[in-house]
């Protein structure tokens, strides 16, 4: 079991590392969660990813997917109609409200989400801007050194 670590002294003595400390604190909080709902993370191509969450008992209209900055938030809450709880002898399908957060890398965009048979699939794609992609630089022929015109004139006058 992990204990909370206080990053306050480090925050006071460093500049520009706020995002790093936020990520560390968020990671510590998310590890202490109960792991509900379970999920799979797949790589579907060179730049494609898929997150699949098992959300049985929830309908499409009860789930909300939000992408903001570098974070994906999936939350759900059950909108149950008035039911008689005495009908159930045992309830093993969890339908409690949840919020699951995923930290996305830079340039990862959410392309879409689909819900089928109790599974929520979220398609992600990494799009690196053209200016950030590596490019080859052509190496040209070196030119012969040239004399500076002012020097050539002064040398001719001296001669």
Sheet architecture: strand order including 71-76: 63-68, 71-76, 98-103
Which tens digit of pLDDT belongs to each residue from 133-142? 788 888 888 8
| Its pTM surpasses 0.75 | no
Which tens digit of pLDDT belongs to each residue from 5-60? 676 776 666 676 677 767 777 665 554 456 889 999 999 998 899 999 999 989 99
Q: What is the DSSP string of 110-141?
A: EEEEEEETTEEEEEEEE---GGGS----PPPP
Decide: 70 and 106 in contact? Cβ < 8 Å. Answer: yes
| CATH assignment, 35-131 | 2.60.40.790
Decide: 28 and 4 in contact? Cβ < 8 Å. Answer: yes
């Amino acid at each position: 079991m992990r204990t909370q670590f206080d990053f306050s002294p480090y925050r006071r003595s460093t500049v520009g590392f706020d995002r790093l400390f936020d990520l560390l604190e968020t990671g510590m909080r998310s590890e202490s969660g109960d792991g509900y709902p379970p999920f799979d993370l797949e790589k579907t191509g060179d730049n494609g990813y898929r997150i699949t969450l098992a959300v049985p008992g929830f309908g499409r209209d009860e789930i909300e997917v939000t992408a903001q900055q570098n974070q994906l938030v999936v939350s759900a809450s059950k909108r149950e109609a008035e039911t008689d709880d005495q009908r159930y002898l045992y309830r093993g399908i969890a339908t409690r409200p949840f919020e699951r957060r995923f930290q996305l890398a830079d340039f990862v965009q959410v392309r879409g989400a689909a819900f089928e048979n109790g599974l929520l699939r979220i398609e992600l794609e990494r799009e690196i801007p053209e200016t950030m992609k590596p490019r080859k630089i052509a190496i040209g022929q070196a030119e012969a050194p040239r004399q500076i015109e002012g020097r050539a004139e002064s040398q001719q006058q001296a001669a």
